[in-house]
Amino acid sequence: MVPRNPHQAKGLLLGAIHDPNPTLFFEPKRLYRASVGEVPDEDYRLPLGEAEVIKEGTDITVLGWGAQMEVIEHAVERAEKEGISCEVIDLRTILPWDVETVAKSVLKTGRLVVTHEAPLTGGFAGEIAATIQERCFLYLESPIARVTGMDTPFPLVLEKEHLPNHLKVYEAIRSSVDF
Protein backbone atom coordinates (compact mmCIF):
# COMPACT_ATOMS: atom_id res chain seq x y z
CA MET A 1 0.00 0.00 0.00
CA VAL A 2 1.10 3.53 -0.75
CA PRO A 3 -0.70 6.46 0.92
CA ARG A 4 -1.13 9.85 -0.76
CA ASN A 5 -1.56 11.94 2.40
CA PRO A 6 -1.42 11.71 6.23
CA HIS A 7 -5.11 10.72 6.55
CA GLN A 8 -4.59 7.78 4.20
CA ALA A 9 -1.30 6.84 5.88
CA LYS A 10 -3.02 6.33 9.22
CA GLY A 11 -6.08 4.56 7.78
CA LEU A 12 -4.05 2.21 5.58
CA LEU A 13 -1.52 1.48 8.33
CA LEU A 14 -4.30 0.60 10.80
CA GLY A 15 -5.95 -1.50 8.10
CA ALA A 16 -2.66 -3.35 7.57
CA ILE A 17 -2.12 -3.90 11.30
CA HIS A 18 -5.57 -5.46 11.69
CA ASP A 19 -5.35 -7.54 8.50
CA PRO A 20 -4.30 -11.17 9.08
CA ASN A 21 -2.17 -11.16 5.92
CA PRO A 22 1.40 -9.82 5.73
CA THR A 23 1.64 -6.36 4.19
CA LEU A 24 4.26 -3.98 2.88
CA PHE A 25 3.68 -0.31 3.61
CA PHE A 26 5.51 2.10 1.31
CA GLU A 27 6.01 5.65 2.52
CA PRO A 28 6.85 8.12 -0.24
CA LYS A 29 9.58 10.31 1.26
CA ARG A 30 8.28 13.24 -0.77
CA LEU A 31 5.15 13.23 1.37
CA TYR A 32 7.26 13.93 4.46
CA ARG A 33 8.33 17.23 2.93
CA ALA A 34 5.13 18.36 1.29
CA SER A 35 2.01 16.65 2.59
CA VAL A 36 -0.26 18.20 5.18
CA GLY A 37 -3.76 17.38 6.25
CA GLU A 38 -6.13 16.61 9.06
CA VAL A 39 -5.87 13.21 10.71
CA PRO A 40 -8.68 12.17 13.06
CA ASP A 41 -7.70 11.00 16.54
CA GLU A 42 -10.13 8.08 16.50
CA ASP A 43 -9.40 4.63 15.13
CA TYR A 44 -10.36 4.19 11.47
CA ARG A 45 -9.28 1.75 8.81
CA LEU A 46 -9.20 2.12 5.07
CA PRO A 47 -9.97 -1.05 3.12
CA LEU A 48 -7.03 -2.83 1.55
CA GLY A 49 -7.30 -3.63 -2.15
CA GLU A 50 -9.95 -0.99 -2.76
CA ALA A 51 -9.16 1.99 -4.99
CA GLU A 52 -10.72 5.41 -4.44
CA VAL A 53 -12.35 7.36 -7.24
CA ILE A 54 -11.30 10.87 -6.27
CA LYS A 55 -12.98 12.67 -9.15
CA GLU A 56 -15.62 11.56 -11.65
CA GLY A 57 -14.99 12.25 -15.33
CA THR A 58 -16.05 11.14 -18.80
CA ASP A 59 -13.14 11.64 -21.25
CA ILE A 60 -10.17 9.84 -19.68
CA THR A 61 -9.19 7.83 -16.60
CA VAL A 62 -6.00 8.96 -14.83
CA LEU A 63 -4.62 6.43 -12.34
CA GLY A 64 -1.84 6.67 -9.79
CA TRP A 65 -0.93 6.14 -6.15
CA GLY A 66 1.16 7.71 -3.41
CA ALA A 67 2.97 10.96 -4.09
CA GLN A 68 1.98 10.85 -7.78
CA MET A 69 -1.56 11.80 -6.79
CA GLU A 70 -0.43 15.41 -6.23
CA VAL A 71 1.18 15.38 -9.69
CA ILE A 72 -2.04 14.03 -11.19
CA GLU A 73 -4.07 16.73 -9.46
CA HIS A 74 -2.03 19.50 -11.13
CA ALA A 75 -2.10 17.79 -14.54
CA VAL A 76 -5.88 17.30 -14.35
CA GLU A 77 -6.44 20.94 -13.40
CA ARG A 78 -4.58 21.97 -16.54
CA ALA A 79 -6.46 19.46 -18.74
CA GLU A 80 -9.83 20.53 -17.39
CA LYS A 81 -9.12 24.15 -18.30
CA GLU A 82 -9.13 22.86 -21.88
CA GLY A 83 -12.44 21.05 -21.41
CA ILE A 84 -11.09 17.53 -20.84
CA SER A 85 -13.17 15.69 -18.21
CA CYS A 86 -10.81 13.47 -16.18
CA GLU A 87 -11.77 10.62 -13.87
CA VAL A 88 -9.05 10.37 -11.21
CA ILE A 89 -8.41 7.14 -9.30
CA ASP A 90 -6.02 6.57 -6.40
CA LEU A 91 -5.12 2.87 -6.46
CA ARG A 92 -3.93 3.00 -2.80
CA THR A 93 -2.84 -0.63 -2.73
CA ILE A 94 -0.76 -2.33 -5.40
CA LEU A 95 -1.33 -5.94 -4.44
CA PRO A 96 -4.12 -6.71 -4.32
CA TRP A 97 -5.13 -3.95 -6.71
CA ASP A 98 -8.70 -2.99 -7.52
CA VAL A 99 -9.08 -4.24 -11.09
CA GLU A 100 -12.87 -3.85 -11.06
CA THR A 101 -12.88 -0.13 -10.20
CA VAL A 102 -10.24 0.67 -12.81
CA ALA A 103 -11.90 -1.45 -15.52
CA LYS A 104 -15.32 0.09 -14.83
CA SER A 105 -13.83 3.56 -15.22
CA VAL A 106 -11.98 2.70 -18.44
CA LEU A 107 -15.13 1.14 -19.91
CA LYS A 108 -16.80 4.50 -19.27
CA THR A 109 -14.02 6.80 -20.54
CA GLY A 110 -12.31 4.62 -23.17
CA ARG A 111 -8.87 5.91 -22.19
CA LEU A 112 -6.29 5.31 -19.44
CA VAL A 113 -3.15 7.10 -18.28
CA VAL A 114 -1.17 5.38 -15.50
CA THR A 115 1.64 7.19 -13.72
CA HIS A 116 4.16 6.09 -11.12
CA GLU A 117 7.65 7.06 -9.98
CA ALA A 118 9.31 3.73 -10.77
CA PRO A 119 11.09 3.19 -14.10
CA LEU A 120 9.03 2.21 -17.14
CA THR A 121 10.59 -1.23 -17.51
CA GLY A 122 9.33 -3.58 -14.82
CA GLY A 123 7.05 -0.94 -13.30
CA PHE A 124 3.59 -1.89 -12.04
CA ALA A 125 1.93 0.26 -14.73
CA GLY A 126 2.84 -2.51 -17.20
CA GLU A 127 0.76 -5.02 -15.20
CA ILE A 128 -2.13 -2.58 -15.01
CA ALA A 129 -1.94 -1.84 -18.75
CA ALA A 130 -1.90 -5.56 -19.64
CA THR A 131 -4.84 -6.40 -17.38
CA ILE A 132 -6.98 -3.45 -18.49
CA GLN A 133 -6.17 -4.12 -22.15
CA GLU A 134 -7.40 -7.71 -21.71
CA ARG A 135 -10.64 -6.59 -20.08
CA CYS A 136 -11.40 -3.40 -22.01
CA PHE A 137 -9.75 -3.82 -25.43
CA LEU A 138 -12.87 -3.31 -27.54
CA TYR A 139 -13.76 -0.14 -25.60
CA LEU A 140 -10.36 1.60 -25.78
CA GLU A 141 -10.30 4.80 -27.84
CA SER A 142 -6.50 5.14 -27.60
CA PRO A 143 -3.50 3.13 -26.41
CA ILE A 144 -3.01 2.95 -22.65
CA ALA A 145 -0.35 5.52 -21.69
CA ARG A 146 2.29 5.05 -18.99
CA VAL A 147 4.03 8.08 -17.49
CA THR A 148 6.90 6.85 -15.35
CA GLY A 149 10.38 7.49 -14.11
CA MET A 150 13.23 7.08 -16.55
CA ASP A 151 14.79 3.69 -17.24
CA THR A 152 17.97 4.59 -15.37
CA PRO A 153 19.19 4.16 -11.81
CA PHE A 154 17.58 6.80 -9.61
CA PRO A 155 19.81 9.91 -9.75
CA LEU A 156 19.24 11.59 -6.39
CA VAL A 157 20.61 14.98 -7.47
CA LEU A 158 18.50 14.92 -10.66
CA GLU A 159 15.27 13.84 -8.98
CA LYS A 160 13.13 16.44 -10.75
CA GLU A 161 14.35 15.36 -14.18
CA HIS A 162 13.95 11.66 -13.40
CA LEU A 163 10.44 11.60 -11.93
CA PRO A 164 7.26 12.12 -13.94
CA ASN A 165 5.85 15.60 -13.34
CA HIS A 166 2.49 17.24 -14.00
CA LEU A 167 3.56 18.44 -17.44
CA LYS A 168 4.44 14.91 -18.58
CA VAL A 169 1.14 13.59 -17.22
CA TYR A 170 -0.75 16.45 -18.88
CA GLU A 171 0.94 15.70 -22.22
CA ALA A 172 -0.09 12.03 -21.91
CA ILE A 173 -3.69 13.09 -21.19
CA ARG A 174 -3.65 15.44 -24.17
CA SER A 175 -2.11 12.83 -26.51
CA SER A 176 -4.60 10.18 -25.44
CA VAL A 177 -7.60 12.43 -25.96
CA ASP A 178 -6.27 13.65 -29.34
CA PHE A 179 -5.43 10.15 -30.59
3-state secondary structure of 11: helix
User: What are the helix and strand counts (H, E) for the chain?
Assistant: 7, 5
Domain ranges of the chain: 52-178
Asked if CATH classification 3.40.50.920 holds for the domain at 52-178, the reply, yes or no, is yes
Report residue 128: phi and psi, to 5°: -65, -45
Per-residue pLDDT tens digits of the chain, which is 179 residues long:
888 888 888 899 899 999 998 888 887 766 666 667 788 888 899 989 999 999 999 999 999 999 899 999 999 999 999 999 999 999 999 989 999 999 999 999 999 999 998 889 999 999 999 999 999 999 999 999 999 998 888 777 777 788 899 999 999 999 999 99
